[in-house]
Structure 1
């Protein structure tokens, strides 16, 4: 009998997560024996929870909102992508070490380029929010040489910190309607609260793609606002979720699963649940 590899995802909230379904479909492609749990961690208790997960025999964990910065701080060794991001979404427990990786950026870019056929080079980009999710995607975005990247956030200090690190611009939400952008990314948690971010609808005039890092059965409030504002295309983050998960799975198991059929099955399931 094969040994079962114990995996999971940590977050708060976590009930909505499709990660268990995704990773079990990945495992089926290779005949891998895994378990994959959803673990909701109380705010402020991430570090102690990690110790408990190690004691319980977990090999690896995905980390989601709002713990990606905590995961970076807890890691004893980080990949270059995670060090650049200062945020971690994939943990591996190995030889008494906590290895931190960030697959958000590569997953995001792969979804943009392969599924949506959108290429970042020479494009103007607006990102809403300045948290761990933004840190995860910025290094990969900057590698693609966009024309400009602007961050809008309620906290000027937090946005300015990102700007100083990555050499980008920051604005307030009430300034978002003054320019047009090719790509607008919602990296705030507003869609989880069924709300739209405070971006001006005029920002979407001429926008080629509006992308919400959150995924849902129905178009998110951000996607609805984007279409009303004139965005040519709007997408949720389901494709990014699947692609970053495949990268995590490869880190843990040593082989990268196919993602096209997994995405299609999940989208079909979400579409049915919306009816």
Structure 2
């Protein structure tokens, strides 16, 4: 029987997840149907129920639904529990179980594909939504020295900092006062500003030192504004979120099927499509 899978989000037509999981399934010899379902915060619960009624038992969740997905799950994996956000759903023991593979996918991409050593780094995390919550715990577990969280709504940054439970190591900063924060080895954009009509606020070049790498969790056109700033500011590396997308999908695939697919062929195909 063909397994029913889906990715939920809004907007969702741009999603590469159906392609990625179809490629993984073909390589691993698994029969799988994977589709994209457009759902916003209001329609997501009903859309998930309809997916379940149609035989769906495993799914991914993207913007803006990761925190809503957490609330719909009766149990959570460690990474999801710590993040308060879910990007992977599994039907288990008569309920939805939530996992979060964003952080492990990001760390795997940065360290294995791009050769970054995260240990001892000072990291600036821009944004405090579901994407930021998904990657913050994994960055801390990877051995970074300090995580500074900045969000245009300061209370959201404070809430993320509180959720991490490491005062002194994880702190919040006012976006308007980023020029007072010194420099960072990694500047990570986890905002969704490029997906909407409002451009991201201008960042000061004082955030950059000779070792700074800029990382955007977005990819394609959505990553262009931040990475253009990073190039102009002199960041040593400019990395988009395509590799993270593939790696977090591989982690989800492993949770569902017990196999970890080879990610390089799929990453190479997607990178060629973006050129």
- Both proteins in one fold, TM over 0.5: yes
Structure with a larger share of its residues in strand: 2
How many angstroms apart in 1 are the aligned matches of 2:27 and 2:115?
A: 26
How many angstroms apart in 2 are the aligned matches of 1:25 and 1:195?
A: 35
- Map of 2:63 onto structure 1: 65
Instruction: Report whether the alignment pairs 1:175 with 2:177.
Output: yes
Instruction: Report whether the alignment pairs 1:197 with 2:203.
Output: no
- Larger deviation, residues 164-173 vs 120-129: 164-173
- Map of 1:262 onto structure 2: 266
- Larger deviation, residues 170-179 vs 103-112: 170-179
TM-score with structure 2 setting the length: 0.94
How many angstroms apart in 2 are the aligned matches of 1:42 and 1:160?
A: 25
How many angstroms apart in 1 are the aligned matches of 2:150 and 2:244?
A: 21
Q: Is the 8 A contact 1:204 1:226 kept in 2?
A: no
How many angstroms apart in 1 are the aligned matches of 2:142 and 2:200?
A: 26
How many residues align? The count is: 269
TM-superposed deviation, 1:196: 4.9
How many angstroms apart in 1 are the aligned matches of 2:229 and 2:189?
A: 11
- 1:225 paired residue among 229, 237, 241: 229
Residues 163, 242 of structure 1: CA spacing in aligned structure 2 closer, same or farther, 3 A cutoff? same
TM-superposed deviation, 1:205: 2.5
- Map of 1:234 onto structure 2: 238
Any unmatched runs of 5+ in structure 1? none
- 1:36 paired residue among 34, 37, 42: 34
How many angstroms apart in 2 are the aligned matches of 1:236 and 1:195?
A: 20
Residues 120, 195 of structure 1: CA spacing in aligned structure 2 closer, same or farther, 3 A cutoff? farther
Residues 196, 264 of structure 1: CA spacing in aligned structure 2 closer, same or farther, 3 A cutoff? farther
Q: Which runs of 4+ in 1 moved over 4 A?
A: none
TM-score with structure 1 setting the length: 0.94
- Map of 2:247 onto structure 1: 243
How many angstroms apart in 1 are the aligned matches of 2:221 and 2:18?
A: 17
- 1:184 paired residue among 187, 203, 219: 187
Any unmatched runs of 5+ in structure 2? none
SS at 1:208 equivalent: strand
Residues 144, 117 of structure 1: CA spacing in aligned structure 2 closer, same or farther, 3 A cutoff? same
Q: Is the 8 A contact 1:174 1:199 kept in 2?
A: no
